[in-house]
Amino acid sequence: MAFRPRGSRSRRTLLAALVAASVAVPVAGAARPAAVPAPAPAVLAPMTAATPAALDRRYAVNRDGIRAAGHMAADHGDRRRAAVLRAMAEPTRHFLSFDGRDGGRATEVFGDLSRAERIAVLVPGSDTSLDAYGRFRAGAVALQQQLGDRAAVVAWLGYRTPSTVSPEAMTAGRADVAAPELRRFIEKLRAVKPSARTSLLCHSYGSVVCARGASGLRVDAIVLYGSPGTGTDTAGRLSGRADVWAGRGADDWIAAVPHVRLRLPFATVGFGTDPVAKEFGARVFDAGTGGHSDYLKPGSVPLRNIARIVSGQAPSPAGRHA
């Protein structure tokens, strides 16, 4: 439903700022360096099994591809990208997919996927790329350690994320491109791990990606955190089967983003209902006092509560965290 301008001066001011940014802020790609060249990824056989042997073969092929991309980045003179890729190619790292082109795409596994009874798929928000992969990886590591044995975390960087300060971060264009890829990945994952409890964890703009791809997906839980909105009015429209949870830290700047949708001639700006609002209908969990990048911080309230949701347990009530 289109937003009808009304209400307080502060809301009108915020909306005006949002619209102005959507037409005046430079496109994110214009501020980024030129794409670092990388080889086309190897053609992988369909993922039909999650046995240790099948996974090891897949990890080895992608490790070779990461090394090749690292050599190409070094030849190009991009030392930062080359260093990131050298770290990714370590034998202890496990990638289900990798493509170093166009900013990079990667799907990394933390924990033993072959034995996992609980799987969390992380979908990142804006400003996540190969060059800024460390923070995304750190959150995945912290969550897997919190979950413990028989759990795997999959860090799915399967799309070109927008810059936080850009028109793309305020429209669903990038999410519309990403959603089919996310759906295909989840469907393949469920095919090889049908009995595992699978949760979709969606941070910031990643919650828009999840909302675009969630309909009909066989997941047990969808967790939205630091979300600007999803582009849908209610949690019930995301998935008929999954429990939908939402949380926001007390210090998260995303709370100041207007929760509206404005249809302009060239785009729809904004993502509508606040996921932690009562009218959205999600189950709200305590996300502590942290900021926008603190949800998977080791030892934090939201990390513990998200891990409980992934495990099929109720999150701890506010102020009561063992």
Select the more confidently predicted residue: 267 or 254.
254
Q: Is the whole-model pTM more than 0.85?
A: yes
Residue pLDDT, tens place only, 68-93: 999 999 999 999 999 999 999 999 99
147/167: higher pLDDT: 147
Residue 319: band (very low, low, confident or very high) from pLDDT cuts 50, 70, 90:
low
- Position 20 pLDDT exceeds 60: no
| pLDDT given for residue 240 in this prediction | 73
For 6-15, 200-209, 214-223, 237-246, which range has the lowest pLDDT when averaged over its residues?
A: 6-15
- The residues, any chain, with a CB within 8 Å of residue 134's CB and separated by 6 or more, are 84
Please report, as a single letter, which amino acid is at residue 74: A
Q: If we measure between CA atoms, which residue out of 275, 171, 276 comes closest to residue 233?
A: 275
Q: Which pLDDT does position 267 carry in this prediction? A: 86
Distance CA(227)–CA(68), nearest Å, equals: 36
> In this predicted structure, what is the pLDDT of residue 34?
46
